[in-house]
C-alpha cells in the first residue's frame, strides 16, 4: 500500500492526493502535524533519499531560520531542524515500498504507478 507523507493543507500535497484519487491508487495519508513525526521516520527517509533531497531550502520556514541555524549544515543538524520544523521537509513524500518520491510531479507519479 502506498503511503503519502505531508501536511494536509499544503497545496502540493493536495495535488498529489487528488492525482492518487483520480487514478484510483489506494494510499494511507500521514500528516506530520496530526499523526506525528519522529527521528526514526526521518532517518528512514534520509537513508533512502539523502537529507539534501528532503530539505526544502525554498520554503518560508527555511528563510525564517537564523543564519546560525543554517550555518555548518550537516546530516544530523538538518534532520534535527526538520524534526523541529516539519515544514522544512519537501512535500509530499510518497513511499511506494520500493522507493520514495519527494515532491509531486505528475509525470513521475505516472511512470512509477
The two beta strands, 2-6 and 27-31, are parallel
Cα dist. 93→64, 65, 66, 68, 109 in Å? 23, 22, 26, 28, 12
Cell 537564523, located at residue: 66
Which residue among 2, 10, 65, 73 is the active-site one? 10
Q: What nine digits make up the cell of 66?
A: 537564523
Cα dist. 24→37, 43, 95 in Å? 27, 30, 16
Is pLDDT at 112 greater than 90 in this prediction?
Answer: no
SS3 at position 101: strand
| Assigned superfamily of 2-112 | Glutaredoxin (3.40.30.10)
Confidence label for 113 from pLDDT (cuts 50, 70 and 90): confident
Q: Cα(11)–Cα(15) distance, rounded to whole angstroms?
A: 6
Structural domain boundaries in the chain: 2-112
10 is catalytic: yes
Confidence label for 20 from pLDDT (cuts 50, 70 and 90): very high
pLDDT in tens, 30-85: 999 999 999 999 999 999 999 999 999 999 999 999 999 999 999 999 999 999 99
Amino acid at each position: 500500500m502506498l503511503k503519502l507523507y505531508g501536511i494536509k493543507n499544503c497545496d502540493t500535497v493536495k495535488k498529489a492526493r487528488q492525482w492518487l484519487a483520480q487514478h484510483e491508487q489506494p494510499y494511507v495519508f500521514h500528516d506530520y502535524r496530526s499523526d506525528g513525526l519522529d527521528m526514526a521516520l526521518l532517518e528512514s527517509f534520509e537513508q533512502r533519499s539523502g537529507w539534501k533531497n528532503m530539505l526544502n531550502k525554498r520554503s518560508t520556514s527555511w528563510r525564517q531560520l537564523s543564519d546560525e541555524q543554517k550555518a555548518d549544515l550537516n546530516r544530523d543538524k538538518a534532520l534535527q531542524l526538520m524534526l523541529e520544523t516539519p515544514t522544512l521537509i519537501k512535500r509530499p513524500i510518497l513511499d511506494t515500498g520500493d522507493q520514495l518520491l519527494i515532491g509531486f510531479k505528475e509525470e513521475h507519479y505516472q511512470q512509477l504507478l
